[in-house]
Structure 1
Amino acid sequence: MEPDLSLQEEGMAGSWSLLSWMASCVMVFGGALPYIPQYQEIKRSSNTEGFSTRVCLVLLIANILRIFFWIGKQFELTLLFQSIVMILTMFGMLHLCCTIQNTNLVSTKQHRLSEMDLRYFWRWSAFEDYLLFCFGFTVLCALVTLLLLDSVVFIEALGSLAVLFEAMLGLPQLLQNFHNRSTRGMSVKMVVLWTAGDIFKTTYFVMNESPAQFWMCGSVQILIDLAILLQVVYYGQDTRGKLG
């Protein structure tokens, strides 16, 4: 009986390890998946109206800060890799938006980072300006972190700031939808994917005993996702009513 019991325990341990590995893969790449249909929709329609590039700003800042939080407090590598994948995804979205907007631009006026005009902050015409801003922000964070790396208060505050930005992820999209009175370019399926992803990752944070900042961030994101889902349903019904 004992050999059989040992084999069962080994089998359960192997199954748990496989599930844990699969969950880690979902965590790393799952956050980027909802942006694939949005990327395809923007490319197909050559219209960026339904996507707020401020979402990219929020996610880039949040994930750059999270990387420095990891340097000061080394939690799961999965969350570090997730940040790297998300940063690359946001650069991909920004590159597409810049390409589409420059193609559709009627005016020859270009807005550049070098103009230092706050009215056009994060509304630059060249993708290179977004890269330059993020590089400068990363260098600044690196210098401050290097100076205060031994401060537990600073590291915890850095983590809280990182997840605060991430918790506000859906807020720019929520406000843009409200301002436009439209959710063009978005679908119920897309937002459901967002919500399911945030529920999954919040559960992951709790089960893996990640720093408290992470599951608090996930809870706020779920609430914002649900608000956006209500907008998609409401404005979709309003549009069908007008067409009818």
Structure 2
Amino acid sequence: MDLYSSAINMAAVKVFITNIIKWTASGAMIFGGIVPYVPQYRDIKRTENAEGFSTYVCLVLLIANSLRIFFWFGRHFEYPLLAQSAIMIVTMLTMLRLCVNVQSLHEVSTRRRAFIDFDIRSFWKWNRFSDYLQAYLLFTVVGSYVTYLLIDSVVFVESIGFLAVFTEAMLGAPQFYRNFQNKSTVGMSIPMVLMWTSGDLFKTGYFIANKAPVQFWICGLMQVGVDLSILGQVWFYARFPQTLKKAAL
């Protein structure tokens, strides 16, 4: 009887520890994605300079996480991933608002660029946060309507899932290009990129361990590759600054 009771207790402890690990991993998935933006947010707030951060990062994540939510209605996946998408959308809108407010402080031109102008040359370069919000709400309404109409199409649902994670995999591409244009990573938060990398490694492992749709972990690996490329820029531009300045002249 004692052996039987001990076995039950050990099993109960094992289940408890397993649940703790699962809850911790789920919490990390839900809130871990926003952590990298904390140092970048603080840097922009402190210096009142958003030049080193590409607002296209916000665009990429707004699209990716919205598409992921649309995908969920056609093919349910774990709730922590759904919650992560909602929280990331709020975070990106917060980052975007800060960047727009800071940029307006240093705006030299008096020409107003607005979303309702529908000028492709000024896309995502508007003067007011409300214009970005209008663009995002339009995307959300149209996307929701199309998803509602085609929710029974397996091809459409799977395509949405692939586009969601592929877009997110390209998250670092705008930052990589901004660094390439500036020939510098000054103004970009290196802790943010390091957190991107560690978070994407954890996230990819989470996808594989929890048997998430194959699109998720394949694009997770792609995202890690982009992160490492940005870290390579940090090393390269710090190692050869003079060479790059001469090349730019």
Taking structure 1 as the reference length, the TM-score comes to 0.96
- Residue 32 of structure 1 is aligned with which of 25, 31, 34? 34
AA of the residue aligned to 2:100: C
Verify the 8 A CA contact 2:60 2:167 in the aligned structure 1: yes
| Aligned CA distance change for structure 1 residues 221 and 48 (closer, same or farther; 3 Å) | same
Matched, 1:203 2:227: no
Whole-Å separation in 1 of the counterparts to 2:100 and 2:143 = 26
Verify the 8 A CA contact 1:52 1:176 in the aligned structure 2: yes
Per-residue Cα deviation, 1:13-60 (whole angstroms, up to 9, x for no partner): 101101100110110111110000000001111111110001111110
Shift of 1:12: 1.0
Other-structure match for 1:118: 120
AA of the residue aligned to 2:21: L
Verify the 8 A CA contact 1:112 1:126 in the aligned structure 2: yes
Verify the 8 A CA contact 2:40 2:189 in the aligned structure 1: no
Whole-Å separation in 1 of the counterparts to 2:9 and 2:38 = 42
- Residue 237 of structure 1 is aligned with which of 229, 236, 239? 239
Other-structure match for 2:12: 10
Shift of 1:186: 2.6
Verify the 8 A CA contact 2:185 2:237 in the aligned structure 1: yes
Shift of 1:179: 1.2
Shift of 1:107: 2.1
Matched, 1:76 2:78: yes
Q: How many residues align?
A: 243
Whole-Å separation in 1 of the counterparts to 2:216 and 2:170 = 13
Verify the 8 A CA contact 2:39 2:192 in the aligned structure 1: yes
Secondary structure, aligned partner of 1:107 = coil
Structure 1: where are the runs of 5+ without partners? Answer: none
AA of the residue aligned to 2:127: S
AA of the residue aligned to 1:210: A
Per-residue Cα deviation, 1:57-113 (whole angstroms, up to 9, x for no partner): 111001101000001111101111000011001001100011001111122222111
- Residue 187 of structure 2 is aligned with which of 185, 188, 196? 185
Whole-Å separation in 2 of the counterparts to 1:187 and 1:80 = 27
Matched, 1:131 2:125: no
Structure 2: where are the runs of 5+ without partners? Answer: 245-249
Whole-Å separation in 2 of the counterparts to 1:139 and 1:115 = 19
Other-structure match for 1:92: 94
AA of the residue aligned to 1:12: K
Taking structure 2 as the reference length, the TM-score comes to 0.94
Verify the 8 A CA contact 2:43 2:189 in the aligned structure 1: no
Stretch moving more, 159-168 or 185-194: 185-194
AA of the residue aligned to 2:225: L
Verify the 8 A CA contact 1:187 1:232 in the aligned structure 2: no
- Residue 140 of structure 1 is aligned with which of 136, 142, 155? 142
Matched, 1:61 2:57: no
Shift of 1:239: 4.4
AA of the residue aligned to 1:151: S
Whole-Å separation in 1 of the counterparts to 2:129 and 2:39 = 21
Shift of 1:236: 2.3
Other-structure match for 2:247: none
Shift of 1:240: 8.9
Other-structure match for 1:20: 22
| Aligned CA distance change for structure 1 residues 21 and 78 (closer, same or farther; 3 Å) | same
Whole-Å separation in 2 of the counterparts to 1:84 and 1:149 = 20
| Aligned CA distance change for structure 1 residues 3 and 241 (closer, same or farther; 3 Å) | farther
Whole-Å separation in 2 of the counterparts to 1:48 and 1:17 = 42
Shift of 1:238: 3.4
| Aligned CA distance change for structure 1 residues 218 and 69 (closer, same or farther; 3 Å) | same
| Aligned CA distance change for structure 1 residues 223 and 11 (closer, same or farther; 3 Å) | same
AA of the residue aligned to 1:50: G
Verify the 8 A CA contact 2:39 2:189 in the aligned structure 1: no
Stretch moving more, 113-122 or 233-242: 233-242
